[in-house]
Amino acid sequence: MPTRALALPYNISMIAHLRGTVLAKHPNQAIVETHGVGYDVAISVPTFSEMPAAGAEVALHIHTHVREDALSLYGFLRLAENSFRKNCSR
């Protein structure tokens, strides 16, 4: 029996949300640990400014960008900032 691809009206992201403990943060990068895995997340300056200090819990909206040679995570505290970034990259 042949299989048919499921057509969805929206883009599916591999990782769309991340909640965990901030291990480190810099103006363009944060390391967030979730269940023993540390995720290296690229962040914007506004997200950096509002992100809690290392040791605190954070929840980020994530845009997963997959390329042939890399899988990159971009994190945003506000969903609107993530939507803006997605529209600018088209």
- 3-class DSSP assignment, residue 5: coil
Cβ atoms 58, 25 nearer than 8 A: no
Say what the pTM is.
0.75
- Helix ranges, 1-90 (H): 45-50, 79-88
Q: What is the pLDDT of residues 36-90, one digit of tens each?
A: 999 999 999 999 999 999 999 999 999 998 888 988 999 999 887 655 444 444 4
Q: State how far the Cα of 82 lies from the Cα of 44, in Å rounded to an integer.
A: 10
Q: Hey, what domains does the chain have and what are their CATH numbers?
A: 17-88 (2.40.50.140)
Is 22 a residue whose pLDDT tops 80?
yes
